[in-house]
Structure 1
Amino acid sequence: MAWFMLVVAGLLEIGWAVGLKYTDGFTRLWPSLFTLVAIVSSFALLGLSLRSLPLGTAYAVWTGIGTAGTVLLGMLLFDESADAGRLGCIVLILSGIVGLKVLGEA
C-alpha cells in the first residue's frame, strides 16, 4: 500500500507542477485551487508512505515520477523540445525509479 500511495503522490506532483503553469501566477481561481489541492495531497501521501518506506528511496521515487512526468507533459502540452537527449534522460530517471523499487524490496 505504501508504494501505491507513493506512486499516486508522484502523479499528483506532476499535476501540481503542470498546474502551476496554468495558474498564471495564482491569478486564475480554478487552476490555482487544483494546484493547491494537488500539492497538499501529494505531500500528504508522500508522508504516509514514509511510515514504511525508507526516506531516501521514497523521496527519490517521488521526485523521479514528478520530474519524468512533468518533462513529458511539457513536451506534449507546451511544445517543449523532445530531442533524443531529453528522452534518454527520462529513460535514465525511470530506470532509477525501477531500480530503487527493486532494491527496496531486496
Structure 2
Amino acid sequence: MPWVFLVIAGLLEVVWASLMKESHGFTRFWPSLGTLVFMAGSFGLLAVAMRTLPLGTAYTIWTGIGAVGAFLVGILWLGEPAGALRLLAALLIVSGLVLMKLTSGH
C-alpha cells in the first residue's frame, strides 16, 4: 500500500505544479488555492508512504513522478518543446525510477 500512496502523491505533485504555473506567481486565487490543497495532499501521502519506504527511495520516486509528469504536461498542454534530448532526459529519469523501485527491497 505505501507504493500506491507514493504514486498518488507523485501524481498530486504534477497537479500542484501545473496549478502553480497557472496561478501566475500566486496572483490568481483559484489556481493558487488549488496549488496549496494539492500540495498538502501530496506531502501528506508522501509522509504516509515514508512510514515504511526508505527515505531515499520514496523521495526519489516522488520527485521523479513529479518531474516527468510536469514535463509531459508542459509538452502536451502548454506547447513546450519536445526535442530528442529532452525526451531522452525524461527517459533516463524514468529508467532511474524503475531501478530505484527494483532495488528498494520493498
Gaps of 5+ in 2: none
Q: 2:89 & 2:73 partners in 1: Cα distance?
A: 15
Matched position secondary structure for 1:36: helix
Q: 2:3 & 2:81 partners in 1: Cα distance?
A: 31
TM-score relative to the length of structure 1:
0.95
Q: Which stretch of the first structure deviates more once superposed, 20-29 or 59-68? A: 20-29
Gaps of 5+ in 1: none
TM-score relative to the length of structure 2:
0.95
Structure 1 residue 105: Cα displacement: 2.6
Q: Which runs of 4+ in 1 moved over 4 A?
A: none
Matched position secondary structure for 2:103: helix
Kindly provide the CA deviation profile for residues 51-92 of structure 1, in whole angstroms up to 9, marking residues without a partner as x: 000000100000000000101111112211100101011111
Matched to 2:5, the amino acid is M
Structure 1 residue 27: Cα displacement: 2.0
Matched to 1:16, the amino acid is W
Matched to 1:58, the amino acid is A
What does residue 36 of structure 2 align with? Answer: 36
Kindly report which structure 2 residues correspond to 1:16-27, keeping only aligned pairs within 5 A, or say none: 16-27=16-27
Matched to 1:28, the amino acid is R
- Asked if 1:59 corresponds to 2:63, the answer is no
Tell me the number of residue pairs that the alignment of Structure 1 and Structure 2 aligns. Answer: 106
Structure 1 residue 98: Cα displacement: 1.0
